[in-house]
Amino acid sequence: MKKITINPVTRANSPFMVEAVISQGKVVEARCSVQFFRGFELILRDRDPRDASYLTERVCGICSSAHGTAAAYALEDAAGVRPPHNGNVLRNLILGADLLQNHIRHFYLLSLPDYVRGPDMHPFVPGYSKDFRLAGRDNEAMLQNYYEALEMARLAHEMVALFGAKAPFPHSILAGGSTVAPTADVVLNFRSKLKKINDFIANRMIVDVHTLAEVYADYYTIGGRTADMLVFGIFPRDQDDRARYFSCGALLEGQVHQVNAQAINEDLSHAWYEHSTAANDGGIGAEKIPNNKGMLNEQTAPNREKKGAYSWVKAPRYNGRAVEGGPLARLWISGDYRHGVSTMDRIMARVLETQKVGQLMAGWLEELRPGEPVYKPFKVPHEAIGVGLTGAMRGPLGHWLRIEKGRIADYRIITPTAWNMSPRDAEGQPGPMEQSLLNTPVADENEPIEISRVVRSFDPCSACATHVIAPGKSLREFIISV
Amino acid sequence: MIEINKFKSIINKGGLAASEATNQLVGSLLAGDKKKHPPVLWLGTNTCAGDSISFLNSLDPGYRAIITDLIDFRYNHFVMSAEGDMATGVLQDILAKFAGEYILIVEGTVPTRSNGLYCVLGQRSGEPYTALAAVRELGMAAGHVVAVGTCAAFGGPYAAQPNPSGGKSVQEVLNRKVINVPGCPVNPGWIVGTLAHLVWYGEPELDKYNRPTLFYGETIHNLCQRRHYFDSGIFASQPGEPWCMYKVGCKGPVTFADCPYRQWNGEHINWPVKANTPCIGCVSPEFPEHTMPFFEHLPDIHLPGITVNANRIGAVTGTLTALGIGSHLAVSIIKGRLPKTVKIGLAPSKPGLEVLQTTPVQVLVDSIKKKLKKKH
């Protein structure tokens, strides 16, 4: 028995730590720990609800559009307003472009260095030295594509900027719609960039992932777990949001179910938080919020010294089960890919999803109607509750908003990485990433690259992971719109 | 330096992407006679990694040319191959071998609660290595310290009220000069330009907030393509309209950055006002606390006896938008503490520019107090 600590896990959106106990060359126990806390939801309180789209984008620099979108949905829900047709399509295009950016960057910049030998220069060295299996020619080709991918990711962010003002943190995702008129010149520019990216995906990325899957085929059996997954749905098909291109659904032991909001719970037994009434290390955020609607009335407060806790992430559970989110979950529930649940399946699904979204986007461009409105003005309600559900690149994302006296009285964010990277719950059940690490073979305890490969297949993002939410309450006000 | 004939042959050579050849050319141009190639450590503290991503979006030069020919990019958790103790070891190695030479870039706020345990970057001897300790230790021995992004430069969103992590700017935890390159995120041109200046010419000229004047020397309002709409009184009444965004909450009048010229992403294709949305003042020391509500203009507050002009309205905007934030801020306004950039906005214009009459701060303060009294 030996304990390995990887701290920081790099090539992730903000570092985190993995501790793994190794016995007879395999992981027998794993803990994933997010090592930082910002308290975004506390910061959002008492502010103008319209500001939430911009402010929550700052939760994450790599999936900012997803937060902007969830915030826009939440406020639209609260205000009872729907965006115009163009507004919905434009927001889909912005989020879609950001998804392309994320997936291309994740696959090439963040994942591939675990499989491809990099050039002999910083920051590629130092690095692990073992188990790089690609033949010299393939390795070189993939390295060239690494640099090409940088250009493609940048190009995808240019697409975000065309309709979104800038990236990261696009301004044009707002409750009420979007803001840039889809004129022919901009549509043409967007289409041209999209075509370059789609060509890259088809001719390089798809090829590369298949090469990778062939050479590292054992990773179809490493990093596996039960097919327990969750998708909130992503990309509304029309402005009334009656259906989405990626459907909302819960997968339990491989069976697709409708999502039941009552089944969502959060556990904080192993997270660095206390109930508001308990002791904490300073009391910030410990104030109680009046419970006038029977909702989320309990508050939690950060407590870094809490005994038995090991992460800033709480443990969301669905029907008491640890469920994962991300491209594999989305493709599984939409029926596009049901090969298995493993490290390589997650990577494969991510690349296939990149291709699917790129192709869908070409179609969305056709739906734009030049000359028609992109934004619908609305009034911020005095008192209201709104929920915005979508998918970030790495899994289900929910924003929950309560407005009192026209201000944000309470704001909650349920992030993908909270689902994926959650710690143990009160029953001792590990989170999905922790479960996936079990039985992972580790050839060299000084270079535990196998662990890194499993962990990175989730596209971990601790930037979005830490938040504050009420413990032990089912979020029964959740409105699942699909 | 690559010769033009060779460049042409590279371009013409089948199978080699043009962008790759361009990158090689740009790379060799960049290197030129500039032999310096300083080690750069880029620490992500409490950050969303948005500045790292934005840095990767740099077009000319691209990331590949930057790390090949401008800097020796040793540490950045987003792109480096190493992890765990191997990664943390890079920091210790640089500290031992390149003290006084390396450039330390910090992205994110530095949390101070629980002795910095709200952000742990790694471990040393099995103990948590906090961002607070790393910034202090590596900051003191660096040749230059650059705070990239508004979080590192001024605190930014994570240090906004009630600042649950006790987040501070780099300058607040480090007793030495810090060059601030703010932005939420930073524009790649700002950070890569600052790095090039540091490598080639040394420290750039800085303003009173230690921002390079090269990028932060003039207000967005004065550089804005839509300035003529403002001067003509043609205002958008909601986001999405193609006119002056001032009444939709634009903070351009009190925000010092070259966004209208530089614009964002790759080919410099867009920026918030061009996209029919307000500037939210993301490079300002007060962002977001004093530039919120982002869409609030509050035109109903009148300042009797004051003739309106552009600079004045700018100052008024910055102050009045602060009104909507909440009681903690209202108190500071009543006490007469105005947001810092508003004070700059009220300062006399630079020589060479038209000198405009400024708004007396007290008039603003009085009218705000009056407004608050009515409200309660």
Q: Quote the pLDDT of residue A265.
A: 82
Residues A458, A411, B255, B223: is their CA dihedral positive or negative? positive
Residues of B within 8 A of A155 (CB-CB) are: 266
Split at pLDDT 50, 70, 90, the class of B287 is very high
pTM of the prediction? 0.87
Residue with more model confidence, A343 or B364: A343
Q: Quote the pLDDT of residue A2.
A: 94
Q: Are A179 and B276 an interchain contact pair (Cβ–Cβ within 8 Å)?
A: yes
> Which residue among B17, B240, B269 places its CB closest to the CB of A158?
B269
Q: Are A15 and B86 an interchain contact pair (Cβ–Cβ within 8 Å)?
A: no
CB atoms inside a 10 Å sphere around CB B10: 16
Question: Rounded to whole angstroms, how far apart are CA atoms A459 and A442?
Answer: 21
Residue B320 tokens, joined: 């009045």
- B46 interface with A at CB cutoff 8 Å: yes
User: What number of helices (H) and strands (E) belong to chain B?
Assistant: 17, 9
A93 and A317 Cβ atoms separated by less than 8 Å: no
Q: Quote the pLDDT of residue A302.
A: 83
The DSSP 8-state label assigned to residue A430 in this structure reads P
For residue range A290-340, what is the model confidence (pLDDT) as tens digits?
A: 333 323 334 667 888 899 999 999 899 999 999 999 999 999 999 999 999
CA distances from A281 to A423, B115, B132, B162, B224 (A): 21, 11, 18, 15, 47
Q: Are B44 and A374 an interchain contact pair (Cβ–Cβ within 8 Å)?
A: no
| ipTM of this complex prediction, to 2 decimal places | 0.93
For residue range B174-206, what is the model confidence (pLDDT) as tens digits?
A: 999 999 999 999 999 999 999 999 999 999 999
Terminal-residue alpha carbon distance, chain A: 48
Helices A184-200, A343-367: inter-axial angle, 10-degree rounding: 160
> Which residue among B19, B264, B275 places its CB closest to the CB of A172?
B275
- Is B209's pLDDT higher than 80? yes
- Is B116's pLDDT higher than 60? yes
Question: Rounded to whole angstroms, how far apart are CA atoms A242 and A259?
Answer: 15
Q: Quote the pLDDT of residue A275.
A: 64
Residues of B within 8 A of A9 (CB-CB) are: 83-84
Q: Quote the pLDDT of residue B8.
A: 42
Q: Are B81 and A168 an interchain contact pair (Cβ–Cβ within 8 Å)?
A: no
Q: Would you state the torsion angle of the CA atoms of residues B134, B135, B136, B141, taken in this order, to the nearest 10 degrees? A: 90
- Is B373's pLDDT higher than 70? no
CB atoms inside a 10 Å sphere around CB B202: 9
CA distances from B230 to A148, B212, B218, B313, B357 (A): 43, 28, 17, 10, 18
- pLDDT, average across residues A415-441: 96
Residue with more model confidence, A114 or B299: A114
- pLDDT, average across residues B118-137: 96
- Is B143's pLDDT higher than 80? yes
CB atoms inside a 10 Å sphere around CB A287: 12
CB atoms inside a 10 Å sphere around CB A139: 18
Residue in B48, B72, B107 to test binding to A, most A beta-carbons within 10 Å: B48
- Is A87's pLDDT higher than 90? yes
Question: Rounded to whole angstroms, how far apart are CA atoms B296 and A439?
Answer: 55
Q: Quote the pLDDT of residue A463.
A: 75
Q: What single string gives the DSSP state of each residue in A380-397?
A: PPSSEEEEEEEEETTEEE
A244: left (phi over 0), alpha (psi -120 to 50) or beta: beta
Question: Rounded to whole angstroms, how far apart are CA atoms B272 and B263?
Answer: 9
The CA distance from A189 to the nearest CA of chain B, in Å, is: 10
Q: Are A37 and B63 an interchain contact pair (Cβ–Cβ within 8 Å)?
A: no
Q: Quote the pLDDT of residue B326.
A: 32
Question: Rounded to whole angstroms, how far apart are CA atoms A269 and A248?
Answer: 28
- B320 interface with A at CB cutoff 8 Å: no
> Which residue among A46, A47, A61 places its CB closest to the CB of B49?
A61
Q: What is the share, in percent, of chain B residues with pLDDT greater than 90?
A: 62
Q: Quote the pLDDT of residue B364.
A: 40
Residue in B277, B321, B323 to test binding to A, most A beta-carbons within 10 Å: B277
Query: Please, what's the b/e burial string for B285-316 (b: 16 or more CB within 10 A of its CB; e: otherwise)?
Result: bbbbbbbbbbbbbbeeeebeebeeebbbbbbb
- B134 interface with A at CB cutoff 8 Å: no
Which helix (H) or strand (E) segment is A330 a member of? helix A327-334
Residues of B within 8 A of A86 (CB-CB) are: none
- pLDDT, average across residues A405-419: 91
> Which residue among A126, A151, A181 places its CB closest to the CB of B19?
A151
Residue A288 tokens, joined: 């109680």
The CA distance from A25 to the nearest CA of chain B, in Å, is: 19
Q: Are B56 and A125 an interchain contact pair (Cβ–Cβ within 8 Å)?
A: no
Q: Quote the pLDDT of residue A41.
A: 86
Q: In one letter, which amino acid is A390?
A: T
- Is A465's pLDDT higher than 70? no
The CA distance from B356 to the nearest CA of chain A, in Å, is: 32
Q: Quote the pLDDT of residue B312.
A: 44
A53: nearest Cα among A65, A61, A41, A40 = A65
Q: Quote the pLDDT of residue B10.
A: 42
Q: Which residue has the tokens 């351009």?
A: B252
* Interface size between A and B, measured as CB pairs under 8 A: 299
For residue range A250-289, what is the model confidence (pLDDT) as tens digits?
A: 999 999 998 887 788 888 899 998 765 433 333 333 333 3
Residue in B13, B81, B103, B184 to test binding to A, most A beta-carbons within 10 Å: B81
Q: Which residue has the tokens 């904490």?
A: A280
CB atoms inside a 10 Å sphere around CB A74: 30
A371 and A58 Cβ atoms separated by less than 8 Å: no
The CA distance from A135 to the nearest CA of chain B, in Å, is: 20
Residue with more model confidence, B359 or A307: A307
- pLDDT, average across residues B147-166: 95
Residue in B40, B70, B83 to test binding to A, most A beta-carbons within 10 Å: B83
- Is A427's pLDDT higher than 50? yes
For residue range A115-174, what is the model confidence (pLDDT) as tens digits?
A: 999 999 999 999 999 999 999 999 999 999 999 999 999 999 999 999 999 999 999 999
Residues of B within 8 A of A93 (CB-CB) are: none
Q: Quote the pLDDT of residue A466.
A: 58
- B48 interface with A at CB cutoff 8 Å: yes
Sheet holding A407-414, edge to edge: A384-392, A395-404, A407-414
- B7 interface with A at CB cutoff 8 Å: no
Which residues have a Cβ under 8 Å from the Cβ of B298 and sit 6 or more positions away?
B320, B321, B323, B324
